[in-house]
Amino acid sequence: MKYNDLLREYILNSGLSLGEIARKMNEKGVKVDRSYLSKLKNGKVGYPASEEVNKAFAEVTGGDPEKLIFAAFVEKSPHSINKVFSKTEDLDEFLIKTIEKVQGGQASELVKLMDINERLELIRVIIEDCISNKRPLETIIKEKEAPYVNDNVSQVVKVPVLEYILAGHPIDRIEKVSDFEYVERKYVKDKQAYALRVKGESMIGDNIMNGDIVICIAQKEVTSNEIAVVAVNNESATLKRVKFQSDMCMLIPSNPQMQPMLENARNVEILGKVVEVRRRFA
């Protein structure tokens, strides 16, 4: 079952209003409001909620927290991975069959000892192994008597999530990597790509919020008005729309409360172009 459908099912079965669910979640220390839950249920926020929110939501509504967290994991995966994992609602069954297929023996007791984060991490390891070895991902999931479903995960690339980048530092030499994201190869092709965790609210007019993840292509030039990763005077990089005017460069935030900055183009270094935004909710 899809993430949004599962949310609606949990709400319906609970008999609670969205306002009541929000209140109970706030009592658990998870800050949400009715409006956010409504948008989440109807798929209007573009990205599943965080694990903390999903866990609290399931507990309040009497649903299965692990099932909802897994559904969120599947929902936010790249299409080629989503297509594979959407064929199962049973995370344990998938892992047991996968482990037994690869290593042999009984895996059910091992899987039972894992918490949800360990199970999802194991899935990431399986995906990474398939990507690095350029081989199909076998779902180990049968639909009646149908054979295993194959999907080519070589269409997906793994990119590092960086907390910050500095001018003059090669992306592939940055050691401060906080996580990884999976990105459809068609968006990055054969270019070097990285993900950057957004800090601040300078680009909220483009629906890029504090804490979001932006997928970027490493490049030294962008077209005027594109959203770029830029560094001024060798300082930490930031996101801005750029507009070139002769030997000057205007860095334009989309937050209406912030003013554009006009810099000498010689002091501005383009470090990449934003190609995708991934929403992160508290």
Mind telling me the catalytic residues? 202, 240
Query: 271 Cβ partners below 8 Å, 6+ apart?
Result: 165, 167, 171, 216, 218, 220, 228, 229, 230, 231, 237
| Chain centre distance of CA 151 | 21
Task: Tell me how crowded residue 30 is: count the other CB atoms within 10 A of its CB.
Answer: 20
Angle, vertex CA 276, rays to CA 270 and CA 277, nearest 5? 105
Task: Write the secondary structure of the chain as one string of H (helix), E (strand) and C (coil).
Answer: CCHHHHHHHHHHHHCCCHHHHHHHHHHCCCCCCHHHHHHHHCCCCCCCCCHHHHHHHHHHHCCCHHHHHHHHHHHCCCHHHHHHHCCCCCHHHHHHHHHHHHHCCCCHHHHHCCCHHHHHHHHHHHHHHHHHHCCCEECCCCCCCCCCCEECHHHEEEEEEECCCECCCCHHHCCCEEEEEEEEHHHHCCCCEEEEECCCCCCHHHCCCCCCEEEEECCCCCCCCCEEEEEECCCECEEEEEEEECCEEEEECCCCCCCCEEEEHHHEEEEEEEEEEECCCC
